[in-house]
Amino acid sequence: MDVQELFDDIAADLAQRGAIAGAMFGKRALKANGKAFACLKDDALAFRLGAGTPAHTDALKLPGATLFDPSGKDRPFKDWVAVPAAQQSQWGRLARTALTSLTS
């Protein structure tokens, strides 16, 4: 599935839980309570999982996953993990986890 279509599907699924589509750094993002919890950059979807949490640690173990560096200037966000399209089967689960951690 195309990453844009998958993003749309995830957004629609999470809308029932209060998530809305928006933008962050000029990229498509998912937000709740005014805060972003997922951001699409190129062919990766980044998730705000919280540094040191089990979800963050597990996400970084996925092949190709890295800390999210939205500027591309080697200044990654420690709470965010960018997961490549090759691991898109994990995106829905990670988006739900990120949303839950933001709203709980």
Q: Is the pLDDT of residue 39 over 80?
A: yes
Q: The pTM is what?
A: 0.95
* Mean pLDDT of the residues in the chain: 96
Give me 64's structure tokens. Answer: 């190709």
**Tokens 């399209």, residue located:** 85
Give me 77's structure tokens. Answer: 């966000």
